[in-house]
Each structure stands twice: as C-alpha cells, then as structure tokens.
Structure 1
Amino acid sequence: MADPRLIRKTTILAKLETQYGLDAAPTGAANALLVSNLSVNPMNAEYISREIIRDYLGGSEELAGARYMECGFDIELVGSGQNAVAPAWGPLMRSIGFAEVITPAVRVDYVPISGAFESSTIYYYDDGVLHKLLGVRGTATLDLGVGKKPVISFKFMGVDGGTTAVPNVGTTLTVWRVPQVVLDANSGKLTFGATHAAAAAPAFVGGTPYPSDGLTIDLGIKAQFQKLLGGERISISERDVTGAAKLQLSAAEEVAFLNDIKANRLTSIGLIHGTVANDKVGVFMPAVQMKEPTKEELNGERLIGYKLGIKPKVGNDEIRIFTSFA
C-alpha cells in the first residue's frame, strides 16, 4: 500500500513567459514560490450533454468541453532586502496586469497597465502530481490588517498545460524575506490627503495621519478564459480597485468625513509598512472615494468603517505598490 500523499508536500514554481502560452519551464532553483493558503482546481470545464433519445429512462453522458485550470495562494508582502531590486513576487504582479518600474538606488514600483499584459507559467506540484498552467493571468487582494502578517492573495487562471505523475522538484527559497507583522510600531497610521513623489524617496508629502485597523484592498482585475479555436487564452478585460478601512476619529473628524462623502470629494490614502531597510512595502492611492460609513466597535471604543472606491486620477495610477527602499 502506498503512503498517503501529504498536502504540505506542495511546490509552486512561476516564471514569466516570453511568448503567451509558451511553457517558460520554471525551475525549483530559480522560480520557487514561498506560499501559504493553497488551492488548485485542476480542471474547470464545460460539460456538454449528448441528450440522446433512447427508449429507456436515464441521463446521457456528458462530454468534457472547453477547460482551464485555476490555482490560488498567499504571498508574504515584503521587499527583496536589496535596494531597488525586484522582490521574488514581482513576476506574479506582472501576471495580473501590473508593470514593474525600477528606479535605480530608490525603489521598485508596481503600477497598473491597460494593455500589453504579461503572462506566466505556473508549475503546481501536489506531492507527486504536476499540474501545468500556461498563459497564466489573474487577480489579487492585499491584506494589511492590524495584527496580521501582510499578504497578497493571488487567484490565477491558466490554459491547461497537462497533468503528469512526477516527483516534486527541490527548491531554493533563500531569496524570500521574513515580513513584519502589521502593528503600530511597524506600520504607523494611514495618511489621508498626502502626495507622493514618484521619482524620489518613497515618502508622503503633507496629509493627515489617522489611527486605523489597517487596510484591505481588492485589485478587482477581471480575468476570463477565452475559448477560441486557435486563440485559447486568459484575457484581462477590466479592473475596478476597491478597499476598506476602519478609522478612530474625533466627533469633528467623523462629521468632516461624512460631509466629504456627501460632496463626492476624493482623497489620497497611503500606508508604509515595515521598519527594515529594503524590506519595506508601501501603498499609495491618489484618488479614493470614501463611501458607506458604518459605526464599528473595538473593545468598547468607537471606530468608523468606510468602503473605498479606488479610482484612477489620470489613468493607470489608481494604486501604486512600492517596495525595496531604505
């Protein structure tokens, strides 16, 4: 009797493709991911009933039609440990419709784009079974909630590249850094109304900081499987970034925020997390619509919750994720 297969014996590799859907052949030495919270759907398929007419009762078998694969996992949100050097999770951001912009001696930015999308190949080893996903694209959410480790949760779709029974490969994970928990000492307050110097040091200029329970963001990228003959692919067609936060406000501040909501005023929001040079990560959103205020409670104290509509200001700038700075 064979030993049972173990979930912990899972290995994920990802590498950017040079041509859409062409197997990039990621390796355990160069392209291994450090992940948690794994999921995989090895065959998401349409099933077409034959609907055969017969002189007895009973359903007809179904034919497996157009199919694709899905996988998901969490990545710890932390820099590369080297100034202006892209982190190991950079290829994943580039596979969900973001461009990687490196400013030498300053930092690495990930900014949204609206065309010329890149893709990756993912190898998902599940204790002896290899699932290959080609032409991979998808979406992600960010969780910078207080008391948690900072993570990006990716959800990917890929063209079916085949499934085989092979041993897991060895991996090298030394490039992955250890994150800091989202706490007051490591993250500080959310800053509203600031500006951000795009080509200079990653600091916010001006603005007002407020105590909060952190920040969650849904990048809202719409990726779909296109079942075209000779053109099967995962296509990115839309992006609608949203978020949420809870703030500790004075009575006057709550009223001021409510008046801004009624007047449809936009504000910027920024957060820098981390105290270790080149492991830090920042998020900046220049045009945020706060809406749907709710009365929240934290150990008997009043918080005010807001949903966030994160909008582009001039285009492809609604959110900037930056990292690997001093």
Structure 2
Amino acid sequence: MLTTKEAIALKIETTQGVEAVPDPTADAILVSELSYANEGLRMVERPLIKPTISTEQSIFAGTLKKLTFTAEMKGSGTAGVAPEIGQALRCCGMSETIGASVVYQPVSEGHESCTIYYYQDGRLNKLVGAKGTATINAEAGGLGTIQFEFTGKDAGRVDANFPTLSYNATVPRPFIEVPFSIGAYDAIINSFSLVFGNTISTPGNVREPDGYAQVEISKRDPNGSIDPEAQKISVIDFETKFKNGELMNMTTGDVGKSSGNIWNVTASVGIRDISSGERDQRRTDDLTYGCHETLGDDEFTIEFK
C-alpha cells in the first residue's frame, strides 16, 4: 500500500456516533501528513503468580482512534461559501456564520461531531463521533496550514478501492504582503501560530462496546506564538504589556487579495512569556500568548472572504 495514495472525506453527523456516510465527491479534503492510531488503548495485564516467570497474554479491552492531518488555509473560491475545511473547523468546537464572508469562532456548547472516511491504498478506515482540535501555522514565504487532530470511535475497516474524489481547485496564497498587527503596532514577524487548545475528554462507559462514552470537548485554552523584530522601548514595550497583563487585539490582516480566497485570523491576546531571539542577525522578541474572551466565546475568529 502506497502512502502517496491516501485520502479522507469528512462529514458532519446529525446524531453523534451515527455514521454520516461522507460523499468523496463533496466531502473530501485535500490533506498531507496523515496519521492514524489507537487512542486510549486498553490492554489489561494479568499479573498472575505461577511456577514460571513468563507473562500472560494481555486482554484487549477497547480503544478509540485518533486521526491527524494537515490542510491548506485557503478559501472556497467564492466569497460567502464555506471553505473545504469548513466542516472540520465546526467539529473543533467552532461556530460557522455565513454572510458576505464565512466566519468561525469558538463556542462552549452544541459542539458538532463528524464521520471521517480514511482511504488507504486498498483499504477504508471509518471513524465516527469524532471531535477535535487544530493548530494554524504560517511562515513568511510559505503557505498557511492547519493541522487537525480528531478523536473518535472506531467504526471498523474494510477492503475498498478508491472512489471518485473531488477537491476544491482553489490555489492557496502564500503568507506574504500581510499587514500583521498586535496592539495597533505593525509588527514585523516571520512566523505565526494559533493553537485552538481544545481538551478532548474520553470518559469510560461500561455500556459501550469499546468501553468509552461519546467524545467531548470539555475545555479550551487558545494560545500561540509570534516572533516580532525587537524595537526600542519608545516604539513598542512588550515587556511592560506582559507584566501589566494587558490584552491586545491581534490580527494577521488579510492573507490573499482575490475575493473568495482571502483568510485572516483576529484574536484578543495577552502575552504569557517573552524571550530574546534572533533572526538573520536581527534581534527578535519571541512572544507566546494566550487568547482571552471579552464578551464570551470570542477569543479568536477565522474569516474567509
């Protein structure tokens, strides 16, 4: 089986844990860096006392599955139409608001779940009731990407040939000509990251065949990092803002210039740590930050327009 011949299709479920049957012509997501593994695997040991020193066979007592993949940050090609990763974002504890643009932001209840079909070269793996978290990364001269990490219930695997797959043809724009700012200061950065910070809870449930209740998002702690070039204190004093616990508005500004293929991230942030860094013999202030709500469930937003 070739690792270069794999694909996923993801569809939101009407009822968590009930297979939604993703359509590979409508629900496929173009991805890279696919990984699929057991999560919370229970192998019960039997520490029996007997005449020999050999170990008894462990007993399988249930597992969940974890699927991770990376997708490109890009629009759908049409303003006001959800991007290819839209359903995946919604299943990471985000609401979706569609108007002239499509906006995603965290919510504290009503989290949606999804069914994911993971096609390998000759095999289909099914994941149901899945919820997850994500991390956005962008670096000057590269493409913005988002890494998803989903946990769900194992719905089995079968031999299957590749179906007909359709992907959105929009080409992503590089992370350049971006008017990044923090606290109304036009910072010169090389890299940006935003971690959704969702806590995925997997409580036990003896009634279930795998011994686990439904997967839930029980907490979030959005955070990230940036690396602005250092300036004189009279220009920007990040150290004082850090010590004073000052909240600042941070925005990437628009990435891309063509309607339908523009994205941006906006957040209310407070600096959690500051250290001295270096980039090509230039001093940087390497900042880690946390996102914090101001009116409730508004720590950050992701907009496609």
Structure-1-length-normalised TM-score: 0.88
- By how many angstroms is 1:225 displaced? 2.1
The alignment status of 1:313 with 2:303, answered yes or no, reads no
1:29–1:42 Cα change, 3 Å:
farther
The alignment status of 1:284 with 2:237, answered yes or no, reads no
CA–CA distance in 1 between the matches of 2:48 and 2:187? Answer: 65
Structure 1: gaps (5+ residues): 194-206
Amino acid at match of 1:294: S
CA–CA distance in 2 between the matches of 1:176 and 1:65? Answer: 43
- Which of 106, 113, 117 matches 1:119? 113
- By how many angstroms is 1:296 displaced? 1.3
- By how many angstroms is 1:254 displaced? 6.5
Structure-2-length-normalised TM-score: 0.94
**Secondary structure in 1 matching 2:155:** strand
Asked if the contact 1:44/1:70 (under 8 Å) is kept, the reply is no
- Which of 107, 132, 143 matches 1:149? 143
Alignment of 1:215-294 (within 5 A): 215-230=192-207, 232-253=213-234, 256-271=237-252, 272-286=254-268, 288-294=269-275
Cα RMSD after superposing both structures? 1.6
Please list the CA deviations of residues 212-232 of structure 1 after superposition, one character each: whole Å capped at 9, or x if unmatched.
113111110011222313462
Asked if the contact 1:213/1:247 (under 8 Å) is kept, the reply is yes
Asked if the contact 1:129/1:167 (under 8 Å) is kept, the reply is yes
Q: Structure 1 or 2: larger strand share?
A: 1
- By how many angstroms is 1:290 displaced? 1.2
Structure 1 match to 2:130: 136
CA–CA distance in 1 between the matches of 2:46 and 2:26? Answer: 46
User: Aligned pairs, how many?
Assistant: 300
Please list the CA deviations of residues 246-297 of structure 1 after superposition, one character each: whole Å capped at 9, or x if unmatched.
11242125762211112111111011211122100010112x1113221111
- By how many angstroms is 1:319 displaced? 0.6
CA–CA distance in 2 between the matches of 1:40 and 1:213? Answer: 31
- Which of 177, 180, 188 matches 2:173? 180
CA–CA distance in 2 between the matches of 1:306 and 1:125? Answer: 39
- Which of 90, 102, 118 matches 1:108? 102
Between the aligned residues of both structures, percent identity stands at: 27
Structure 1 match to 2:91: 95
Asked if the contact 1:210/1:249 (under 8 Å) is kept, the reply is no
Alignment of 1:59-78 (within 5 A): 59-78=55-74
CA–CA distance in 1 between the matches of 2:218 and 2:207? Answer: 19
Structure 1 match to 2:18: 22
